[in-house]
Structure 1
Amino acid sequence: MTQLVLVLDATIVNVALPKAQIEFGMTDAERQWVVTAYVLAFGALLLLGGRLADVWGRRRSFLTGMIGFGAASIWGGLSHTSVELISARGFQGAFAALLAPAALSMLTVTFTSGKERARAFAVFGIAAGSAATIGMALGGVLTEFVGWRWCLLVNIVFAVLGVLGALAFMKESKANDHHGIDVWGAIVVTLGFAGLVYGLTLAQSGWASIGTVSFLALGVVLVAVFVVIESKTRYPLLPLRVLRNRTRAGAFIVQAVVGAVYIGSTMFLAFHLQTVLGFSPLVAGVASLPMAVTTMALASLATRQFERFGARYVMAAGLLIAAGGMFYLTQLTVDGSYWAQVFPGLLLIGIGLAFVIVPVQNVGLAGVPWSDAGAASGVVGSSMQLGGSIALAVFMTLFVETGGGYGRGSVAGYAAVYLAAGIVLVAGAILSALLVRRAPDAGSSEWDGENAVDWNQRSSSTEASASSKW
């Protein structure tokens, strides 16, 4: 539920923005900041949120994040000015950065091996993979029938359920061998990610502008400085051992590709349905659902194939199928029908991504030490957010450069975006095949060098001694 609402919130507000802009008299720049404020705070603070979950306690971080997210949603839903709305979205993103890694790391340390772990991560992945399109549909329904403010206020329901569920079922867990936070690392990486994400939002209006180049360069330099800090500090915010494993690194790259597809290209689907085909927001939201429904319907099959064949070839095949769906969408025309030109492509994308999102987070967190679960979960979230931000900036530039606009003459721009998205998916499939190794039991083992090591043995040795090597 947590993963669903956090990803859903990145898209549900998009449907409400036109009416919110009219009510508050927002400029186009202010309207964009309603989206940017959430993504910027979320992406910049994810690594810090993940480490706080490890050190402070995952259940405590989850509760704090859920309560804060609900409160920020109420503020945004009841806001009276554009400044209030943008500020509330920023606070939503900040609390989401605490909430997301706490939820994922809790899953990691609760389901430690076997088919149970594979199925738990399948449910989690399906929630993440379907949330973007569900957000568009739910946003259309709420905006149409009860008002745009309920696109924010609906989070109250999720927050209450989340808090009650955590109090009733979650047990506290944290890294007992870590007693500090890398403050300088936290400051540097937060500013670095903020620079990258903000620079990418500026890139949508010009890659060569001074602002774009300056913020991107600043972000790259600060991330490099962060890596140096992490290699020397006693209690790193992100232990570099999390990234050294080739299979895990491959999973993080695939996660970034998934973010590029969901965050970077779904917005253009909404544009095409509304500006070219003339659908209302409600109908456009419902028309985007086949992708999510197909992904959810195939979750069980994808889980069985993952358990049988391992992640390497299942993810590569899924990415190629999804790429086929993107390539299919390149043949959109102004007078084409939804059922002939859009629906088949959405089905292919939904089928393909079912076989990617089921194993990718499981693989990315397989064998991660108990004490690093939150930090690794932060990397998973950061990969998706940065992948989506980069893709959104690149796709928007491509859309504009190929003659895309906001009317019926924008079809060429959409075709260029879907072609680029398909190429990204093919590249992800190649990297998945090259980097991800297959362990004897992908659900229960750690890829440590060439050998798979049983998680439970590792976990026991870690709890027994803080000096255990991974």
Structure 2
Amino acid sequence: MSTASISTTPPPEKVVPRREPKPGLILATIVTCQLMLVLDATIVNIALPKIRPALHFSEASQSWVLNAYTLAFGGLLLLGGRAGDILGRRRMFVSGVIVFTVASFIGGLAVDSGMLLASRALQGVGAAMAGPSMLALIITTFPEGAPRVKAMSLFTAVSSAGGSVGLLLGGMLTTWGSWRLVMYINVPIGAVAAIAAARLLNESPRQQGRFDVPGAITSVLGMSSLVFGFINASEHGWSDSVTLVAFVAAVVLLTAFVITESRVEFPVFPLRLLSDSTRARGYGTYVLIVGAMFSMFYFMPQFMQRVLGYSPMRAGLAFLPLTVTLFAVSRFVPKLLPRFGPRPLIAVGTALITGALFLLSRIHTDSGFTGALLVPFLMFGLGGAIAFSPIALNIMSGLSPRDSGAGSGLMQACQQIGAALGIAVLVTVSTSAEKGSHSSNPNVNFTHGLDTGLLVGSGIALAVFLISLTLKPKAPAAGAVPTPAPAVE
């Protein structure tokens, strides 16, 4: 065991009567918070044209309104998952929601770019505290089988639809009010969610042991370097010296992290979770499919506003068919899983996403919404609804309660890495293709680059489809079904 470890063995705790479980209210609280965290990654996209002049951002620096959140969120997720296991998941969940809510309020008050960026980074810290505990709370609240499948289906539907909901809500708030509302909207939601969680949730038993300080440091710095490398690559290119330094640092730090985790008794992330080849491929699949899907959420709002001349609200409303389809179809996934298993559903869902992105890669400057965008949007929503819940269940199924925090932390880290990687790769591809187009019409050049990026996105989704054919469902692990235990405060 490392000598740099700090003892976190908790003192004897007061045992209190458990709250009577209210699964419906608990799930409503968790998915509401998840929606708040996920949509915050995109809700400011449409508000950026208003934020930039108001707070005097430059063309280059405005991207950090998005990046500051992604960097803090992605960099701290593994640590957040382990902290929930040690300190208690209810405590971390409620604390994270409070931090996120306070940060949102500060962001709404921002008087300059520095204040807004600091608030966005603080939002990412709160999200990293609360995020991993959400999936862990679902795992420990709902037993294996139909109850957990239904809960996970709703959670993943909210997670995959959050991007489009953010665009829709951002367009409405920006058009009808002020860009500050995209920050203030989180305040009442977060306050109610924090109060509800504190009243409804039983605290999880805290794990005994020592906190892995070297693992915490190398995981935070390594993950932050990796995410920053992808962010910088999307802005300055893959050969930029800062990008290369970030990736080298990420490799060194994450290698040190793996070595550390293999030697300590109480690691931040138990490497045994990756010894299951199906789960390991599930994590890889999640990174790739999120990266592919973000190509659509990143490119299409720009196309609709820049080429088709849509207002921010109209661009947001264009995602409504996708969002409605995703939520509507997600209700039937719990009935399909027991009958077909996860592999066929993942294959069908990723095939639909592949087809949707391919069709979108054929659009041109004269394309209209009904003729060119509606069908791919519906396919995209249908594919996301069918695929995401089985992918998540294949990753989380069989995890013991003691590993659920670390497992969910890595899953959400995969989502952030996938988004950063997808944007970095596809922006590089689209920018290169746009520069290679020599039309006198800049919209034609932009659309050519966009089409190329979406085509590469469809190729990534196709790779996920092929990987899905090799996945195998896992049997529940011993201890995977939670057993009642005294609540602690």
Q: TM-score range by the shorter chain?
A: over 0.9
Amino acid at match of 1:310: G
- In the other structure, the counterpart of 1:202 is 232
- In the other structure, the counterpart of 2:307 is 276
Q: Deviations over 1:222-255 (max 9, x none)?
A: 1111111000011100001111112211221222
Cα deviation, residue 454, structure 1: 7.5
1:455 equivalenced with 2:480 (yes/no) = yes
Cα gap change, 1:38 to 1:427, in 2 (>3 Å): same
Cα deviation, residue 408, structure 1: 4.7
Cα deviation, residue 396, structure 1: 0.4
What is the aligned counterpart of 2:261 among 224, 230, 239?
230
Aligned residue runs from structure 1 range 402-417, under 5 A: 402-403=433-434, 407-417=443-453
For 2:233 and 2:129, locate their aligned partners in 1 and report how far apart those are by CA, in whole Å. 27
- In the other structure, the counterpart of 1:437 is 472
Task: Check the 8 A contact 1:243/1:249 in 2, yes or no.
Answer: yes
For 2:123 and 2:67, locate their aligned partners in 1 and report how far apart those are by CA, in whole Å. 12
For 1:202 and 1:300, locate their aligned partners in 2 and report how far apart those are by CA, in whole Å. 39
- In the other structure, the counterpart of 1:52 is 83
For 1:138 and 1:408, locate their aligned partners in 2 and report how far apart those are by CA, in whole Å. 29
What is the aligned counterpart of 2:193 among 150, 162, 168?
162
For 1:380 and 1:175, locate their aligned partners in 2 and report how far apart those are by CA, in whole Å. 21
Amino acid at match of 1:309: F
What is the percentage of aligned positions where both structures have the same residue?
33
Aligned residue runs from structure 1 range 328-343, under 5 A: 328-343=359-374
For 1:139 and 1:383, locate their aligned partners in 2 and report how far apart those are by CA, in whole Å. 25
Cα gap change, 1:312 to 1:361, in 2 (>3 Å): same
Cα deviation, residue 307, structure 1: 1.9
Amino acid at match of 1:93: G
Amino acid at match of 1:81: D
- In the other structure, the counterpart of 2:210 is 180
1:100 equivalenced with 2:131 (yes/no) = yes
For 1:45 and 1:382, locate their aligned partners in 2 and report how far apart those are by CA, in whole Å. 8
- In the other structure, the counterpart of 2:22 is none
Amino acid at match of 2:229: G
Task: Check the 8 A contact 1:53/1:174 in 2, yes or no.
Answer: no
Gaps of 5+ in 2: 1-31
Aligned residue runs from structure 1 range 44-443, under 5 A: 44-176=75-207, 178-204=208-234, 205-403=236-434, 407-434=443-470, 436-439=471-474
- In the other structure, the counterpart of 2:23 is none
Secondary structure of 1:279's partner? coil
- In the other structure, the counterpart of 1:442 is none
Task: Check the 8 A contact 1:275/1:408 in 2, yes or no.
Answer: no
For 1:455 and 1:369, locate their aligned partners in 2 and report how far apart those are by CA, in whole Å. 4
Q: Deviations over 1:182-206 (max 9, x none)?
A: 1111111111111111111111221
Q: CA RMSD in A?
A: 1.7
Task: Check the 8 A contact 1:51/1:374 in 2, yes or no.
Answer: yes
Cα deviation, residue 30, structure 1: 2.2
For 1:388 and 1:411, locate their aligned partners in 2 and report how far apart those are by CA, in whole Å. 21
Task: Check the 8 A contact 1:175/1:372 in 2, yes or no.
Answer: no
More helix by share: 1
Cα gap change, 1:454 to 1:197, in 2 (>3 Å): closer
Amino acid at match of 2:222: G
Amino acid at match of 1:203: A
Q: How many residue pairs end up in the alignment? A: 448
Q: More deviation in 256-265 or 303-312?
A: 256-265
Task: Check the 8 A contact 1:140/1:282 in 2, yes or no.
Answer: yes
Cα deviation, residue 112, structure 1: 2.0
For 1:4 and 1:408, locate their aligned partners in 2 and report how far apart those are by CA, in whole Å. 35
For 2:261 and 2:206, locate their aligned partners in 1 and report how far apart those are by CA, in whole Å. 18
Q: Deviations over 1:168-224 (max 9, x none)?
A: 211100343x33221111111111111111111111221111111111111122111
Cα deviation, residue 101, structure 1: 0.5
Cα deviation, residue 303, structure 1: 2.2
Q: More deviation in 14-23 or 54-63?
A: 14-23
Cα deviation, residue 421, structure 1: 1.0
TM normalised by structure 2 equals: 0.89
Amino acid at match of 1:402: A
- In the other structure, the counterpart of 2:41 is 10
For 1:29 and 1:455, locate their aligned partners in 2 and report how far apart those are by CA, in whole Å. 48
Task: Check the 8 A contact 2:174/2:181 in 1, yes or no.
Answer: yes
Task: Check the 8 A contact 2:296/2:357 in 1, yes or no.
Answer: no
For 1:164 and 1:400, locate their aligned partners in 2 and report how far apart those are by CA, in whole Å. 46
TM normalised by structure 1 equals: 0.92
Task: Check the 8 A contact 1:175/1:371 in 2, yes or no.
Answer: no
For 2:347 and 2:210, locate their aligned partners in 1 and report how far apart those are by CA, in whole Å. 39
Task: Check the 8 A contact 2:41/2:66 in 1, yes or no.
Answer: yes
Cα gap change, 1:47 to 1:454, in 2 (>3 Å): closer
For 1:33 and 1:396, locate their aligned partners in 2 and report how far apart those are by CA, in whole Å. 15
Amino acid at match of 2:472: R
Q: More deviation in 227-236 or 287-296?
A: 287-296
Task: Check the 8 A contact 2:400/2:479 in 1, yes or no.
Answer: no
For 2:368 and 2:65, locate their aligned partners in 1 and report how far apart those are by CA, in whole Å. 32
Task: Check the 8 A contact 1:316/1:433 in 2, yes or no.
Answer: yes
For 1:288 and 1:82, locate their aligned partners in 2 and report how far apart those are by CA, in whole Å. 29
Amino acid at match of 2:330: A
Cα gap change, 1:371 to 1:175, in 2 (>3 Å): farther
- In the other structure, the counterpart of 1:467 is none
Q: Deviations over 1:363-411 (max 9, x none)?
A: 2111111111111110000111101111100000001011169745311
For 1:301 and 1:95, locate their aligned partners in 2 and report how far apart those are by CA, in whole Å. 32
Secondary structure of 1:66's partner? helix
